Chains A and B, each alone.
Chain A
Amino acid sequence: MSGIYKTDSSDHKNLHKIPDDFSNRETRIARLRDLREDRNSADYDHLANEGSLILMVPDSVSFAREFLNDANGYLSAKGLENVL
């Protein structure tokens, strides 16, 4: 894990770079890929509606909450407190 953070669009290609020991790593990588696609639908597809999403909104929200919670715990275990 590099810890490098950028806000430009090129950072999207780094979605799959989750630490090897992160819980449910493979699922998270795939779901982040799906969420990126859904985000593109929301921002750029004017004909898209909720049914066009790969993940339903409640599933996306619960995924994001759990992911942030696990990321917080992971970073805390590494000695990084209150990062997120």
Chain B
Amino acid sequence: MNVKNNQYEEDKDFAIKVFEKESGLSEVTCQILEKHGHPYMIIFLSCPTERYFKYLNLAVDKLPIDNVFKDRVTLKKRSGVSDRLDLPEVKRLRKLISESLTATKNSVLSGDFGERYIDTVDRAEQQVVAKGNHAVFGRRSWQIKPNALQRQCS
């Protein structure tokens, strides 16, 4: 692999990273087309709507001028899905559901809804969004207070 291709890879990774940050998606797939000597990136989504084009344009604006994919990236509809549960969109939905489970009645009173959920330092989210019955156990483990647990056990 020559220096030019290495630069392409770095620019591609950075462009993907910026798009993922803007869109909230993760592990998006893409294809690089060679267009008369310059690469053009196509990011595949199940349904590229106006919302995702907005994220794309925001990402393009944030790319440095020397990134080879500046103004050279687009979205297209994905075809031939083999495992829907592993799609970036599904992962985002699962993340949102997991985040919503951290809400309690106190969240309303204390105004927590005005703030975004903050990821844990040790990346516990990866386990929370695992293919398991986390909707019940994850919620209870965070909500039950010690004295409440004692009352339940007695």
Closest residue to A45 on the B side, CB-wise? B36
Dominant SS among interface residues on chain A: helix
Within 8 A of B (CB), among A13-70: 16, 24-27, 29-31, 33-34, 37, 40-41, 44-45, 48, 52, 54
Q: Given the interface contacts A34-B74, A54-B42, does A24 sit within 8 Å of B50 by beta carbon?
A: yes
**Inter-chain contacts of B75 with A (CB < 8 A):** 30
**Inter-chain contacts of B33 with A (CB < 8 A):** 52, 54
Q: How far is the CA of A29 from the CA of B48 in the complex (A)?
A: 14
Interface string of B46-72 (1 = CB under 8 A from A): 001111011011000000000000011
Q: How far is the CA of A31 from the CA of B48 in the complex (A)?
A: 12
**Inter-chain contacts of A16 with B (CB < 8 A):** 57
Q: How far is the CA of A34 from the CA of B49 in the complex (A)?
A: 16
Q: How far is the CA of A13 from the CA of B11 in the complex (A)?
A: 21
Number of A-B contacts (CB under 8 A): 43
Q: How far is the CA of A11 from the CA of B148 in the complex (A)?
A: 68
Extra contacts besides A27-B53, A37-B72, A54-B35 (18): CB < 8 Å = A16-B57, A25-B50, A26-B51, A26-B53, A27-B48, A27-B50, A30-B74, A33-B71, A33-B74, A37-B40, A40-B35, A44-B36, A45-B36, A48-B36, A54-B33, A54-B42, A54-B74, A54-B76
